[in-house]
Structure 1
Amino acid sequence: MKNKDIQIRDPFVLPDPAAGKYYLFGSTDANIWGPGTGFDAYAGDNLDDWEGPFPVFRPPAGFYSDTNFWAPEVYAVGGRYYMFATFRRKDNGRLGTAVLAADGPLGPFAPHSPAPVTPESWTSLDGSLYTDESGRPWMVFCHEWQQIGDGEVCAVRLSADLKEAEGELVTLFRASEAPWTTPFVSPRYPDTVNYVTDGPFLFRGPSGSLYMLWASFIDNTYALGVARSESGDVLGPWIHQPEALYRNDGGHGMVFRAFDGRLLLTIHAPNRTPEERPLFMEIEERDGRIGLAEI
């Protein structure tokens, strides 16, 4: 399959240099806004040609969600593979990020955390694993705008086994604090001022600076921005780049190192179902900022 053949949102690439394979995960239900069937993945030795789809997760009997299976991110930790993914709970209808686990990158993944590790009373999504320089795992996630109006990016420490949250929740920033975002006008909430946070992802630039990708809207068009931690730590403070990195109706990105050494960004674009496709772009660090590579 080619990229143009793969309908996917929230793409996430796990490179496996030893095997010479890239594994592509994402929200893969044809209608991700409705009942969910699980997650599929793709494998390839380049970023143009893919094998699959491979069914890497199907919910077992009694699973706590049957709708809105979103944004799987897969990490290799201690010889196993852990998937952070968002589900809508059956018991209270709220979104939350849970952790699944498998022995291989193509699964099958099974529930690892007993339930979503985000707060039960919050509508939360897009949890992303970050390991600090002391080796402690954190989850960075969004407290959704639909619940609070001005969406937040939050962080919480996780237990060493990645099964539950530990310690105090910290709000890193609100969507309206970034200079590039504008209010999101939703037909469902026409009388409120909303700012969206989506898809946080942390990575180190070549200089060692800690950056975060996250998505929002500019004039109701999906866009991707970048913030930099002034302290170099997950708790920030986070300084936003004044302009969006990508503003052409695409976002929810992550960054990975290609086998040829390039630093690559992947996003989905356009932000319309069923037209969304994976898009890959080279990025670079210039003067303390992240930008698209100059070709």
Structure 2
Amino acid sequence: MKTLSDINFRDPYILSVPELEQYYLFGTDGLTAWSGAPHGFDVYISSDLQEWSGPIAAFRPDPDFWADHHFWAPEVHRYNGKYYMFASFKRHGVPRGTQILSAETPEGPYLPISNHPITPASWECLDGTLYVDKEDKPWMIFCREWIEVTDGEMYAVRLKEDLSATIGEPMLLFQASQAPWTVGGKEGQYVTDGPFMHQTSSGELLMLWSSSGASGYAMGLARSVSGDISGPWQHDPEPLYAKDGGHGMLFRDLTGRLMLAIHAPNLNPQERPLLIEVQESSRTISIKSL
């Protein structure tokens, strides 16, 4: 058994499955996040968020799989009775993209539902996440990278009901520099990372997302003025988490508490999953305890 301090994961994602009384932890392997040949994605399993069994192989690429490095940010959503993994991949000379995989059980094994990424083939993209709107229509929210556009962009695109392909063109939601808390690089680069959608009990639509802040890697909140994915999107003036950590997601534990999972610090290979209890008001969320 391991604790979270033993698990070198970036971009942690925890799937809570109440009927099984289990949590499933996915993430980017810190050892191969930036260099080396990743073996795939692993999952750890816990019943109390304290002790974790694993790692268990959740995804292992076939020999002819198109990507060979930068296996990043796997997140798993339960949708229409199956489990879908959204993850980003890269190959030398081929733009980074998010691909969708599926499995019958939370731990996998996950298999690609297509032989290519679902993000635009000519764009450098990452961190696709699933959002299901008020009409039960699936969307993918994803980032277009600063390495291509300088000022990182956030997009939404409709998905087919089986998540196998997109419908229509991606819709630009905002650019990273529009948030008051973001800090640009020496040549004006602004990062967009790790979107995650959350709807409050009153119907307020929020997005967690990460970028560079005054104290390093940080995570902020954006909210849709209309309550729909189309926005327009307003940004909180200060980040939700500013202490060199981010790429967050929210889940409810088995007692109903709303929990935030991030990685901190952002320095490789020291990053570890960090769980923080948060509280929700009608319009927002805030950190309850550290």
Q: Percent identity?
A: 49
Aligned to 2:104: 103
Pairing 1:225-236 to 2, within 5 Å after superposition: 225-236=220-231
1:24: how far off? 0.5
Measure, in 2, the Cα distance between the counterparts of 1:287 and 1:25: 30
Measure, in 1, the Cα distance between the counterparts of 2:288 and 2:154: 27
Aligned to 1:69: 71
Aligned to 1:219: 214
Measure, in 2, the Cα distance between the counterparts of 1:287 and 1:55: 39
Measure, in 1, the Cα distance between the counterparts of 2:22 and 2:165: 31
Q: CA RMSD in A?
A: 1.4
Aligned to 2:89: 87
**Closer, same or farther in 2 for the Cα pair 1:5/1:33, shift >3 Å?**
same
How far does the alpha carbon of each residue in 1:65-100 deviate from its partner, in whole angstroms, 9 at most, with x for none? 01000000101122221100000035x331100001
Measure, in 1, the Cα distance between the counterparts of 2:230 and 2:247: 21
Amino acid at match of 2:271: E
Give the secondary structure class of the aligned counterpart of 1:18. Answer: helix
Give the secondary structure class of the aligned counterpart of 1:65. Answer: coil
Contact 2:276–2:289 (CA under 8 A) maintained in structure 1:
no
Measure, in 2, the Cα distance between the counterparts of 1:287 and 1:15: 23
Measure, in 2, the Cα distance between the counterparts of 1:19 and 1:245: 31
1:272: how far off? 1.1
Aligned to 2:48: 46
How far does the alpha carbon of each residue in 1:40-64 deviate from its partner, in whole angstroms, 9 at most, with x for none? 0100011111010111101002101
| Equivalent residues, number | 288
Contact 1:29–1:38 (CA under 8 A) maintained in structure 2:
no
Contact 1:113–1:162 (CA under 8 A) maintained in structure 2:
no
Say if 2:57 is the partner of 1:55: yes
Measure, in 1, the Cα distance between the counterparts of 2:289 and 2:62: 47
Aligned to 2:279: 284
TM-score, length basis structure 2: 0.96
Pairing 1:142-181 to 2, within 5 Å after superposition: 142-181=143-182
Measure, in 1, the Cα distance between the counterparts of 2:197 and 2:261: 14
1:25: how far off? 0.5
TM-score, length basis structure 1: 0.94
Measure, in 2, the Cα distance between the counterparts of 1:23 and 1:113: 24
Measure, in 2, the Cα distance between the counterparts of 1:49 and 1:15: 15
User: Which shifted more, 232-241 or 119-128?
Assistant: 232-241
**Closer, same or farther in 2 for the Cα pair 1:282/1:206, shift >3 Å?**
farther
Measure, in 1, the Cα distance between the counterparts of 2:104 and 2:282: 41
Contact 1:29–1:36 (CA under 8 A) maintained in structure 2:
no
Aligned to 2:258: 263
Contact 1:152–1:173 (CA under 8 A) maintained in structure 2:
yes
Which of 197, 204, 207 pairs up with 2:199?
204
Say if 2:18 is the partner of 1:17: yes
**Closer, same or farther in 2 for the Cα pair 1:294/1:203, shift >3 Å?**
same
**Closer, same or farther in 2 for the Cα pair 1:285/1:79, shift >3 Å?**
closer
Contact 1:72–1:84 (CA under 8 A) maintained in structure 2:
yes
1:288: how far off? 2.3
Give the secondary structure class of the aligned counterpart of 2:5. Answer: helix
Measure, in 1, the Cα distance between the counterparts of 2:21 and 2:193: 30
Give the secondary structure class of the aligned counterpart of 1:122. Answer: coil
Contact 1:123–1:147 (CA under 8 A) maintained in structure 2:
yes
Measure, in 1, the Cα distance between the counterparts of 2:63 and 2:275: 36
Contact 1:241–1:289 (CA under 8 A) maintained in structure 2:
no
Say if 2:245 is the partner of 1:250: yes
Amino acid at match of 2:159: L
Give the secondary structure class of the aligned counterpart of 1:115. Answer: coil
Contact 1:37–1:66 (CA under 8 A) maintained in structure 2:
no
Ranges in structure 1 where 5+ consecutive residues have no aligned partner: 186-191
Aligned to 1:122: 123
Give the secondary structure class of the aligned counterpart of 2:20. Answer: coil
Contact 2:200–2:281 (CA under 8 A) maintained in structure 1:
no
Ranges in structure 2 where 5+ consecutive residues have no aligned partner: none
Amino acid at match of 2:167: E
Aligned to 1:133: 134
Measure, in 2, the Cα distance between the counterparts of 1:94 and 1:196: 17
Measure, in 1, the Cα distance between the counterparts of 2:277 and 2:133: 25
